[in-house]
């Protein structure tokens, strides 16, 4: 157990928190500065940079496609991942360990390699358009989160409760929806949030599958920074922070308290 | 309310050794029958096959005259209580109990009436709105029973339902189970490894060993007349004397000793068995003599391990007159208590 009164630990905690929060605080401050380049401390106050975000089509389009891809990839990852986890934890499947490693492998390979491999295969070799390629790339990114979180909560769920439902006259699919799903809901919500945030923020995979016709927000920001160093990027960062915070609060409120802070059910 | 007939059930996992061999059992309507055996004897496998949670390799299961051998679990109309209780954690006690009724075509009012009635019977009325994790083990057990009984199952299957409870509650719950079972006249199969538990509440007991039924009889019959050495060992016979042959029609040869028994001898007998408390200590120097090597205090008696001409014996003696380790002990084997076993 950690000793709560250990001052050294407290100090380390404060330093870590400060290192996490300070840069964000500086970004927030710089977004209101009047200078044409990002500088700290600021000399005057303006909201002009916030207005400037909406004049950049790359940001507006990027936001829309990042949002669409993140939502779709997260949903698809759940639709594929949850049944896969159910099968892996409830049926005797030959080569079970091999499948488990396969599903988790995207976390083991550097994302930049995945991006490059997908670009080579999907775009160059198969001549797939960019949008579906991006979706596949982000799906690969999301799947391990679903597999890992949902597996851990399935393993904590007594298999007998499902059997009890069957003996009470409930068919297997129906028991899955009425008994299993409500009890792994927390991990599904958490997995969805992690998928969404990781997909929405992803650069390495999007970088390879980006094009003039297909813009993603993080890569758009990167491009913008190469040519401009004005506080528009700070303003956009603040907007994104607020967007993510609101989204998480909404999920917490709608889908249950503790969904994001606990990984276990019951 | 049904008869259960198991006919030549066999079960093998993959290419491994068979778990069940040719297991047959008939359970009369409204009876409570226990499957008793050590772990690995196949009792839980048998129960899960009856429930339809496992598919037997061969053999048939009949409820009344209906063959349910290939019927999927959710259409069998049997309910089961699990060792872990297996309550639905996201539902209240009321909703847990109502769950099975929702699959039957009943009106909401009927469901509420049935659930309310069974909660009353099982003493759970005040807990209806609680969640399982807010209940004690005994209360969870009652909910599991109520949930299984409310659907009016043809058979009630109980898989070691008492083993997670403490000793005092276990006695109370087994009486509760028997009371409900008699009141509702539900044919019940009860799996346990605890002989006291199953003798207390069963109409009949099937003793299982390595996937076979060794003996199927009323508890009294099994207690007094075990048919095999396995059954005898399982229910507390501690002394097994290997038989070399018979002496006329009233005694057996054990080593170089002659042991007299009541009644005619059986030529096929392989061992003689007797419980430690049935061996009589001789106050004088009569009978056989042995030397005490171990003494264990049992509360109601001392149990002595005795080296004797018949081999090592377990003998119970009164606590008022303890015999020291190393001291001689004199005893006789009452002829009418010795039980010859053929297997």
Residues A222-239: pLDDT tens digits?
Answer: 888 888 888 999 999 999
pLDDT beyond 80 at B137: yes
Question: pLDDT tier at B222 (50, 70, 90 boundaries)?
Answer: very high
* Nearby residues of B286 by Cβ (< 8 Å), 6 or more positions away: B330, B332
Give the mean pLDDT of A46-59: 89
Give the mean pLDDT of B10-19: 85
For A266, which residue in chain B has the nearest alpha carbon? Answer: B89
Inspect the interface and report whether the beta carbons of B89 and A265 lie closer than 8 Å: yes
pLDDT beyond 70 at B172: yes
Strand partners, B331: B281, B288
Question: pLDDT tier at A256 (50, 70, 90 boundaries)?
Answer: low
- The answer as to whether A42 is a domain residue is no
pLDDT of A261 reads 52
**Mean pLDDT rounded to a whole number for chain B:** 91
pLDDT beyond 70 at A103: yes
**% of residues, chain B, pLDDT over 90:** 68
pLDDT of B1 reads 62
Mutate which of A157, A169, A173 to disrupt the B interface (most B C-beta within 10 Å)?
Answer: A169
Cis before residue B172, ω within 30 degrees of 0?
Answer: no
Report DSSP letters for A159-221, one per residue.
HHHHHHHHHTT--HHHHIIIIIHHHHHHHHHHHHHHHHHHHHH--HHHHHH-BTTB--HHHHH
CA separation, residue A63 to residues A24, A219, A245 (Å): 20, 11, 16
Residue B203 CA to residue B184 CA, distance in Å, equals 15
pLDDT of A266 reads 36
Question: pLDDT tier at A3 (50, 70, 90 boundaries)?
Answer: low
- Which residues does chain A have within 8 Å of residue B100's beta carbon, measured at their own beta carbons? 168-170
pLDDT of B28 reads 95
- The answer as to whether A161 is a domain residue is yes
pLDDT beyond 50 at B112: yes
pLDDT of A4 reads 60
More confident residue, B263 or A110: A110
Asked if B9 and B22 count as a contact pair (C-beta separation under 8 A), the reply is yes
For A160, which residue in chain B has the nearest alpha carbon? Answer: B86
Inspect the interface and report whether the beta carbons of A164 and B51 lie closer than 8 Å: no
* Nearby residues of B69 by Cβ (< 8 Å), 6 or more positions away: B56, B59, B60, B61, B62
Q: Give the closest of A158, A169, A266 to B103, CB-based.
A: A169
pLDDT in tens, B228-252: 999 999 888 999 999 888 887 888 8
- The answer as to whether A146 is a domain residue is yes
- The answer as to whether A50 is a domain residue is no
Residue A235's CATH number: 1.10.3720.10
Q: Is B13 on the interface with A (CB under 8 A)?
A: no
Number of helices (H), then strands (E), belonging to chain A: the values are: 12, 0
pLDDT of B23 reads 93
- The answer as to whether A94 is a domain residue is yes
* Dihedral of alpha carbons A49, A55, A59, A60, sign: positive
pLDDT in tens, A144-176: 999 999 999 999 999 999 999 999 999 999 999
* Nearby residues of A13 by Cβ (< 8 Å), 6 or more positions away: none
- The answer as to whether A83 is a domain residue is yes
Residue A147 CA to residue A154 CA, distance in Å, equals 10
pLDDT in tens, B205-220: 999 999 999 999 999 9
| Residue A105: domain span | 56-262
Q: Is B79 on the interface with A (CB under 8 A)?
A: yes
- The answer as to whether A72 is a domain residue is yes
Q: Give the closest of B83, B151, B157 to A169, CB-based.
A: B151
- The answer as to whether A155 is a domain residue is yes
pLDDT beyond 70 at A257: no
- Which residues does chain B have within 8 Å of residue A170's beta carbon, measured at their own beta carbons? 74, 99-100, 103
Quote the number of domains for chain A.
1
Give the mean pLDDT of B119-134: 93
Give the mean pLDDT of B19-35: 94
- Which residues does chain A have within 8 Å of residue B77's beta carbon, measured at their own beta carbons? 169
Question: pLDDT tier at B263 (50, 70, 90 boundaries)?
Answer: confident
Q: What tokens appear for B304 in the block?
A: 């002595």
Question: pLDDT tier at A265 (50, 70, 90 boundaries)?
Answer: very low
């Amino acid at each position: 157990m950690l000793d709560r009164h250990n001052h050294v630990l407290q100090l380390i905690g404060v330093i870590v928190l400060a290192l996490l929060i300070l840069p964000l605080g500086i970004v927030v401050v710089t977004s209101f500065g009047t200078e044409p380049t990002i500088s700290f401390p600021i000399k005057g106050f303006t909201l002009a940079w916030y207005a400037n975000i909406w004049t950049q089509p790359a940001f507006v389009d990027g936001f829309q496609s990042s949002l669409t891809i993140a939502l779709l990839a997260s949903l698809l990852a759940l639709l594929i991942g949850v049944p896969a986890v159910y099968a892996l934890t409830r049926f005797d499947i030959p080569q079970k360990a091999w499948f488990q490693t396969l599903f988790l492998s995207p976390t083991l390979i550097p994302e930049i390699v995945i991006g490059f491999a997908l670009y080579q295969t999907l775009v160059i070799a198969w001549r797939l358009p960019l949008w579906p390629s991006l979706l596949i790339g982000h799906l690969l990114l999301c799947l391990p989160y679903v597999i890992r979180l949902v597996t851990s909560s399935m393993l904590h769920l007594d298999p007998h409760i499902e059997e009890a439902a069957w003996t009470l006259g409930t068919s297997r699919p129906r028991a899955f929806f009425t008994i299993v799903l409500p009890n792994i809901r927390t991990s599904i919500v958490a997995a969805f949030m992690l998928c969404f945030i990781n997909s929405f923020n992803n650069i390495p995979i999007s970088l390879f599958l980006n094009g003039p016709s297909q813009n993603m927000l993080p890569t758009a920001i990167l491009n913008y920074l190469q040519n401009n160093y004005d506080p528009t990027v700070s303003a956009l960062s603040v907007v994104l922070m607020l967007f993510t915070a609101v989204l998480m609060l909404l999920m917490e409120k709608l889908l249950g308290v503790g969904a994001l802070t606990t990984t276990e059910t019951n | 309310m049904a008869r259960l007939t198991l006919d030549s059930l066999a079960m093998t996992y993959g290419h491994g050794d068979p778990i069940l061999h040719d297991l047959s059992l008939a359970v009369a309507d409204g009876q409570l029958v226990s499957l008793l055996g050590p772990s690995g004897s196949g009792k839980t496998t048998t129960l899960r096959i009856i429930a339809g949670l496992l598919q037997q390799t061969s053999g048939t299961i009949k409820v009344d005259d209906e063959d349910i051998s290939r019927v999927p679990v959710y259409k069998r109309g049997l309910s089961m209580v699990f060792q872990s209780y297996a309550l639905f954690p996201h539902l209240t006690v009321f909703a847990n109990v109502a769950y099975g009724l929702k699959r039957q075509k009943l009106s909401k009012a009927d469901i509420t009436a049935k659930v309310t009635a069974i909660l009353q019977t099982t003493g759970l009325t005040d807990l209806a709105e609680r969640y399982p994790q807010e209940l004690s083990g005994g209360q969870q057990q009652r909910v599991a029973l109520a949930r299984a009984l409310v659907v009016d199952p043809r058979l009630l299957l109980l898989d070691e339902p008492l083993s997670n409870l403490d000793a005092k509650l276990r006695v109370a719950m087994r009486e509760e189970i028997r009371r409900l079972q008699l009141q509702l006249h539900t044919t019940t199969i009860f799996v346990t490894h605890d002989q006291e538990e199953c003798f207390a509440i069963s109409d009949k007991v099937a003793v299982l060993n390595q996937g076979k039924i060794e003996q199927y009889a009323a508890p009294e019959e099994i207690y007094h007349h075990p048919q095999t050495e396995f059954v005898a060992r399982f229910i507390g016979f501690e002394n097994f004397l290997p038989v070399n042959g018979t002496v006329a029609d009233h005694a057996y040869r054990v080593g170089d000793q002659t042991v007299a028994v009541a009644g005619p001898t059986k030529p096929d007998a392989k061992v003689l068995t007797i419980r430690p408390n049935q061996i009589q200590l001789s106050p004088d120097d009569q009978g056989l003599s042995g030397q005490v090597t171990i003494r264990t205090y049992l509360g109601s008696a001392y149990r002595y391990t005795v080296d004797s001409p018949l081999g090592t014996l377990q003998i119970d003696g009164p606590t008022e007159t303890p015999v020291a380790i190393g001291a001689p002990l004199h005893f006789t084997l009452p002829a009418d208590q010795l039980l010859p076993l053929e297997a």
